[in-house]
Chain A
Amino acid sequence: MSALRQYRDLVSVQLRSMRDEVLMIAVIQIVLALGLVLGMGYLIPDISKMSATFLVTGTATQSFVTMGLVMLPQMLAQSKAEGRIEYFLTMPISREAYLLALITVVAITALPGVAFTLLFGAWHYDISLSVEPAFFLVMVLAVLSLAGIGVAMAMWSPHLQTVNAVTQLIIFYVLFFSPVLLPASQLPELLQLTAKLAPPTYAADGVRATLTDLPNTSLARDLLVMSGFAVGSIALSAFAIRRRG
């Protein structure tokens, strides 16, 4: 059986196995997006178009972060604890196809949140977003890098509780201490340095570079760094999944 057919079947199995949760995930993402887009707006009464654009694109990136770095590792760690991953590993399937299928499912489930955020945010703040073709490449690399790290985290963590604790810290960091929702220039120096090591920084910057005319973005750097994170994290995950105790 070809790896492509395996990949297609695995995506289908993963999506079907989440059919009861898909609606809930979509609702959570939309509520989170509404909360951020509207809530942060209430915090800044006379929000400028530039700040609103920054906020809306950051919130769209947040959907990828929520799915790739929070929900995916939590679900995977749960599956690992319950032996479901090992069950799949007893099948004659490509490990890489299995990992890519998981990441694809993250992309599919994150898309409604991203689309809703961009459409609602643009309407609410009356801002214009122009989609460059490279935006789709940014989305792919954002998913691969963030979900790749999410998978690696779940595969290498010894306990489900560890993954749950780390993902809580990640969401807290991304929301309040990273240049995803706050301009880097407003962060203390230490956090600016930390941000350089955090993949969500480059995902958010890439989204801004391909949807807006906000200054100080660097698409080439974003694509390069996200590619590096994607390759590194997926290789790390593949190594973890191939280990046999």
Chain B
Amino acid sequence: MVLNMGLRPVLEVRDLVKRYRNGTLANDGISIALRPGEIYGLLGPNGAGKTTLVRQVLGVLRPTSGTITLDGGDVVANPGLARRNIGFLPQGQFDLLSLRVGEIIEYSARLRGVKPAQARIRRDELLAMLDLTPFARTTMHAASGGVRRMAGFAAAIAAPARLLVLDEPTNDIDPIRRQLLWNTIGELGREGATVLLVTHNLAEAERFIDRLAIIDGGRIVREGTPSALRSLVTEKLRLELAFTGPVTVHAALTSEKGDPGKYLFDQRDLPVISTWLGSLREAGLLGDFRIGPPTLDDIYAAVMAPAPELEAAS
């Protein structure tokens, strides 16, 4: 990561409002600023307004009000600025029909202004870097969902860009390739790329994100570094466990998004929880368990807990 705190933000969104023609308020006064070299996470439930925000940043949707600047240039007035300077991986499946994996990467570079010979060199580099060389001549139709997603990611980074916008980059990707992709994103950040990362995969993203914003109902409800946001649940501990028989869950435990194996509890309840776990083990009702500090998932669950009525966006 190369963070240049004093420099002008690469991307700055100020008081952004987007109301669709049907009256839906998808973005309601959003302000974010991405510093050079920063990996910035955007988290939120479906319909929170993330995709609407991304489409405006990309210059394909005009805001109702507010400003978006890229390196100080006005994206709202000059959407070409976004097209020339942003590499983009869309959320939807990246299946350009019968195009081959290698062609997707090469033509993405060419259409973003890279000369043909250099585009071929870049294609081969990315195929090797992302372990896609065996699939270079595989058509997108014939490739697995994970290979298609990796090809889309390679296409997004095929040409130099001031900002990378990656919308759910790890969807459909197997664990090994997923690690490769996260490592590459981390490497891009270390090399100074600025990344806007839309993701639901908090546990994986946590290691690479410099700052994140949680968006809900079209508004930013929390923003900060992962460690700063973790302080929101600093008095909590996370318990992951597996029961081997019917058990009434201890009243001090709070289920995480209804997941029967993941709970949060107050640190002050640690003695009673330890006693309870011991009794379960003696009764043969407890498999493996683990107690640890809260993760970004817990922060997200804590922030979203009141879950106000979500407004349908986009």
Contacts and interface: CB of A to CB of B under 8 A. Distances in A.
A92 B107 contact: no
Contact of A83 (B20, B84, B90, B111): B90
A132 interface: no
A245 B141 CA distance: 31
A13 interface: yes
Contacts of A86: 55, 60, 90
A244 B62 contact: yes
A87 B88 contact: yes
Contacts of B92: 82-83
A92 B98 contact: no
Contact of A16 (B20, B93, B100, B112): B100
Interface stretch (A4-12, A34-42, A218-226): A4-12
B128 to A, nearest CB: 22
B160 to A, nearest CB: 12
B97 A21 contact: yes
Given A90-B58, A92-B112, A9 B107 contact: yes
A190 interface: no
A20 B139 contact: yes
B107 A12 contact: yes
Contacts of A13: 96, 99, 103, 107, 111
A216 interface: no
B61 interface: yes
A43 interface: no
Bin the interface of chain A by size.
20 to 34
Nearest to A88: B111
Contact of A89 (B60, B84, B100, B139): B60
Given A83-B92, A90-B58, A16 B103 contact: yes
A90 B98 contact: no
Contacts of A90: 58-60, 82-83, 86, 88, 90
B195 to A, nearest CB: 16
A17 B60 contact: no
Interface in B28-79: 55, 58-62, 79
Contacts of B113: 1, 92
A150 B96 CA distance: 21
A244 B59 CA distance: 8
A90 B88 CA distance: 8
A17 B83 contact: no
Contacts of A88: 111
Give the one of B20, B98, B108 with max A CB within 10 A: B98
B110 interface: yes
A190 to B, nearest CB: 37
B96 A17 contact: yes
A219 to B, nearest CB: 38
A197 to B, nearest CB: 30
Nearest to A91: B111
Interface in B93-149: 93-94, 96-100, 103, 107-108, 110-113, 139, 141
Contact of B62 (A12, A21, A245): A245
A82 B55 CA distance: 15
B260 interface: no
A52 B107 CA distance: 46
A103 to B, nearest CB: 18
Contacts of B79: 244
A10 B111 CA distance: 8
A18 B141 CA distance: 11
Nearest to B152: A87
Nearest to B107: A13
B99 A245 contact: no
A92 B99 contact: no
- Chain A CB within 10 Å, residue with most, of B58, B59, B79, B111: B111
A93 to B, nearest CB: 6
A84 interface: yes
Interface in A126-169: none
B278 interface: no
Contacts of B96: 13, 17, 84
B68 to A, nearest CB: 12
A217 to B, nearest CB: 39
B80 interface: yes
Given A90-B83, A245-B62, 14 more contacts: A1-B113, A9-B111, A10-B111, A13-B111, A17-B97, A21-B97, A82-B93, A83-B90, A84-B96, A87-B88, A89-B60, A90-B59, A92-B113, A244-B59
Q: Which 4 A-B pairs have the closest CB atoms?
A: A244-B62, A20-B98, A92-B83, A245-B61
Interface of B: 20, 55, 58-62, 79-80, 82-84, 86, 88, 90, 92-94, 96-100, 103, 107-108, 110-113, 139, 141
23 contacts: A9-B111, A13-B103, A16-B103, A18-B97, A19-B139, A20-B97, A82-B93, A83-B90, A86-B55, A87-B90, A88-B111, A90-B60, A90-B82, A90-B90, A91-B111, A92-B80, A92-B111, A92-B113, A244-B60, A245-B55, A245-B60, A245-B61, A245-B62
